[in-house]
Amino acid sequence: MNAWLVTAAVLLTAGLGPAVWGVATGPLERRVTAQNFGTSVVCLAALMLAQGYDRPSYVDVALVAAVLGPVGTLVYARLLADELQEAPP
């Protein structure tokens, strides 16, 4: 196990846990922000894993997650549009 893999494990543990908790609970603004943060954590962890395992093909996973992250936020906001109309930020 090298430093890249340890960093990816720490990043996933310390970053993804709070992001999942933020998406699952709390007000709408925090849920959308946590979803964006979770996407960033997954992208960075995938890049660390690609470097740690010396597999350049894993970088593609990070790039796809980076591209689909904003799309996921738009879908998430679309699903919560009714709540946004009731109480605008």
Write the pLDDT tens digit of every residue in 13-66.
999 999 999 988 878 778 888 888 999 999 999 999 999 999 998 899 999 999
- Residues in CB range of 85: below 8 A, 6 or more apart: none
Q: Is pLDDT of 77 > 90?
A: no
Mean pLDDT of 66-79: 83
Residue 13: per-residue pLDDT: 92
Residue 6: per-residue pLDDT: 95
The model's pTM: 0.80
Please give the residue that has the higher pLDDT: either 81 or 16. Answer: 16
